[in-house]
Chains A and B, each alone.
Chain A
Amino acid sequence: MIDYFILIFRILIFPGFTFILALTLFCDWIERKIEARIQNRVGPLVAGPGGILQPLADFIKLLTKEDIEPTSVKRFVFKFSPLAAFAMMIFAFCFIPIDGASVLSTTGFTGDLLIILTFATIANFILFLAGWASNNPYGIIGSTRVLTQFLGYDIPLYILALSPAFLAGTLSIFGIVQSQTLPYFLLVPWAFVLFIIVMQAELEKDPFDVPHSESEVVGGLETEYTGAKLAFIHLTRDVQVVFGAALVVTLFLGGPNGPVFFGLPTFWHALWFTLKVILVVIISEYLTTIFARLRIDQVLNLNWKIMLPGAILSLLATLAVINWVIPLVM
């Protein structure tokens, strides 16, 4: 009985839904603050101390806004895809060991790395459907751009995600985290750098934010969305950003590993995990602010001509490390 209780607590409160949501909104605030400071602005300031509640306030504000459904949309997909995408992202998050174990307090299963990458892909595909169903030229162009970019960059992403898996000798996320006594970004820094760049493209942030380039496609796939649906699309985007950061942390920065000083190890693991996620978010936001947006053809050129060969070379270099460097050290 108590087991069930703990499980429900873990899913709903910590480290599940509520914690992920809080982390997402917090990271959103950090992003906005960092971006503002780099751009010589102040950023959010009013809601809460230092404007920390601004993302929450924005979310609630959107929830209360009028929800308009244009007549030409494909009703069913239009209505449910924002929620479905959001649910998909949260579900993928549940496999990431935040406080030492995954949300379902299992150690996962072999191959769950592939599962969460697939979930992330599906979530993006659902967002594509959202734009497609809105039946608006900007929405359609925006969502085809999402698909073009996402599918292209998925290939190097999967290949790069294999590096830690090869190093750990397993496709299980828990296994990868466990074997990182030395964080992998020290062992295979090239894979880490490439992974960060590919992640930037996956998350559609500058210089890869072509699906959202408002000067060309207005709101992209969000053009027809209003009110609560828009709130959930925004939230999905934010969760995606944190999920991307969490993936980097898990694969290359040792996940929740870190020194435990006193009290509950769960607390310390979650703290280390959060701090690392924030670090990655800051790096990603820094990249966003210092670059201009590329054109869609330039983004794809970069994908197929540099990122894909780069990912394959990186994998070969990782294999070389596994076969020749590690035996020397051990």
Chain B
Amino acid sequence: MQKSSEEFVNAIENKLNGKIQIQIGTLGKAAITANNGIHRDLIKVMLEVDDQTSIVAITGLDLGTNLGVYYHFRSQSGYYTIKAEVPKDNPHIQTITDLIPGALFAEMEGNDLFGIVFDGHPSPGRLVLSENWPEGVYPLRKDVIANQVKLVPPKNVAAEPDDNKTVKIIIGPQHPALIEPEKFSVSVEGEIVTKVEPRLGYVHRGVEKAAELRTYIQDVYLVERVCGICNGPHAWSFSGAVEKILNVTVPRRAQFIRVITLELNRIHSHLLVLGHAGLEIGYETLFQYFWRDREPIMDLIELTCGNRVYESMISMGGVRRDLKETDSPKIKAVLEDLRKKIPFYKQLYENEPTIKARMKDVGVLKREDAISLGVVGPVARASGYAVDVRKDEPYEVYGEIPFKEIIYTEGDTWARMNVRMDEVEESINIIEYALDNMPKGPIRVDIPREILAGEAVNACEAPRGELFYYVKSNGTDMPDRVKVRTPTFANLPSFFKTAIGGSIADVPANFVSLDPCFSCTDR
């Protein structure tokens, strides 16, 4: 049953009275301060009160003598943050992976970047840092200067003894199935996958650290570079977080233009992965068709933003370019053309026997697993888990635009692809509505260079799912901490769940149906 945020907070307060402090209205719906140990009880209570509560991110913070561990949660009534602190010289905190399996990667990352030790974590080890990074140097702590770190030769890891039944197939870091570098050791018995061991971090660039060393205006462009495909949502999430700290409202025209930009981004990203999926199942014709249809959308992005790929359109306080009156019919014509083509693809997915053979019942993710792993975006919606930031926490003008939330219940690769196709159609509707209802007026407000001290979380429905930002300012022109939780980071654990027990031949199709983006994941 859906509960309002007041009910949710009251329920928690009643159960854990006195042990926690609640600040309403900060860092989502409420920030709850809890110490080591209590935070586990708190999470248990949250899961009891709302069984759809799942982890979004774990933010580490350098607070001087202490390290902050902020757990960001999403429940049906909104975002909540649990604040915990551990001393820097003994940074131990109990793991929550047994309560919420989706926290697995987030905790490993906290260990990598801040040295926070999560006691009881099932697979401690490096996640994003490379093997030659020295032990005991945690890059996101304030005392570490990144370019003065001396790299050390990596330790030789003893090879695991082979047994005769399983063969280890290494997918990546260079492999035709992966466009970006990441390594997955897949153990197979015959053709059946028995184990998947990931090694992430091949494209870890330290964007979060770099953001702390740049001004806010530079950071907008920096965070866009986290991901080439969904750069718009990154710029929006960062700008939106800063606007939340400053309590600034963006002019209405700018909000509409932002929506158009974000939706164009979604259409081109979805068409990209739909085509790529065709390539993975050996359906080259489908690939060529989808990418042919993506091209006019890229032209539209160029028309509206001036750039083909990196939009650099959304900035703090508004947008950088206005939409010309004459552009509106051009955009509509292209979108109308695309809308006419979608039924063809829909019936192809419906009727083509080889597509169904390769995608139906492949990589089935059950709804319960989707919730416990904290899966987001089209992957979650294909499993019947209705999570869409545009609906749950409407930002900009999404609240007033009528559009359907696409939900499929099959949870397989086929459903994930269908969710995307339907969403392309919905995005076309959204853009057309926005073009028709866009008021005239200014397109931005001024934002000071130095941002008042404060902190904010902000989430955006990127093409791949919920994109989450935490920004903390300290009164200077540079942010104190920028935390980026990308959708692929949340979706990856589901792949390890669904791949095991399936055929090795299903791995590429299953994997690409997550629309993985590793430069997002690694940042």
Binding site for B on A (CB under 8 A): 35, 38-41, 137, 141, 206-207, 209-210, 213-216, 218, 289-298
Contacts and interface: CB of A to CB of B under 8 A. Distances in A.
A294 B357 contact: yes
Contacts of B177: 214-216
Given A137-B169, A214-B176, A218-B175, A295 B506 contact: yes
B191 A293 contact: no
B176 A289 contact: no
A41 B355 CA distance: 22
B281 interface: yes
A40 B292 contact: yes
Contacts of A297: 191, 503, 505
B285 A216 contact: no
Given A210-B505, A218-B175, A294-B354, A39 B169 contact: no
B281 A293 contact: yes
A128 to B, nearest CB: 18
22 contacts: A35-B284, A39-B285, A137-B167, A141-B169, A209-B282, A213-B282, A213-B505, A215-B280, A215-B508, A216-B507, A218-B176, A289-B284, A290-B285, A291-B283, A291-B352, A293-B283, A295-B358, A295-B503, A295-B505, A295-B506, A297-B191, A298-B357
Contact of B358 (A39, A40, A137, A294): A294
A12 B490 CA distance: 63
A39 B503 contact: no
A58 B499 CA distance: 38
- Pick the 6 closest A-B CB pairs, nearest first: A293-B282, A292-B283, A39-B288, A215-B508, A292-B354, A215-B177
A63 B507 CA distance: 35
A218 B504 CA distance: 13
A293 B292 CA distance: 21
A135 to B, nearest CB: 14
B508 A216 contact: yes
Contacts of B355: 292
Contact of B289 (A35, A40, A292, A294): A40
Contacts of A137: 167, 169-170
B295 to A, nearest CB: 11
B274 to A, nearest CB: 13
A207 B357 CA distance: 11
Contacts of A207: 282, 354
B352 to A, nearest CB: 7
Contacts of A209: 282
Contacts of B167: 137
A139 to B, nearest CB: 12
Contacts of A40: 288-289, 292
Contact of A215 (B170, B176, B503): B176
A38 B289 CA distance: 10
A209 B352 CA distance: 17
Contacts of A141: 169
A38 B176 contact: no
A291 B354 contact: yes
B281 to A, nearest CB: 5
Contacts of B447: none
B286 interface: yes
Nearest to B287: A39
Contacts of A292: 278, 281-283, 286, 352, 354-355, 357-358
Given A137-B170, A291-B352, 11 more contacts: A39-B288, A40-B288, A141-B169, A207-B354, A210-B505, A215-B176, A215-B279, A218-B176, A292-B278, A293-B282, A297-B191
Interface string B505-516: 111100000000
A68 to B, nearest CB: 16
B102 to A, nearest CB: 27
Interface string B158-193: 000000000101100001110000000000000100
A214 B289 CA distance: 20
Nearest to B359: A292
Scoring B281, B286, B289, B506 by chain A CB atoms within 10 A of each residue's CB, the highest score goes to: B281
Nearest to B358: A292
Contacts of B506: 295
Contacts of A218: 175-176
Contacts of B288: 39-41
A295 B362 CA distance: 11
A39 B508 contact: no
Q: Which of B176, B279, B292, B507 has the most chain A CB atoms closer than 10 A to its own CB?
A: B176
B520 to A, nearest CB: 21
Contacts of A38: 285
A295 B285 contact: no
Interface in B394-439: none
B323 to A, nearest CB: 31
A116 to B, nearest CB: 29
Contacts of A35: 284
B357 A296 contact: no
A59 to B, nearest CB: 22
B176 A293 contact: no
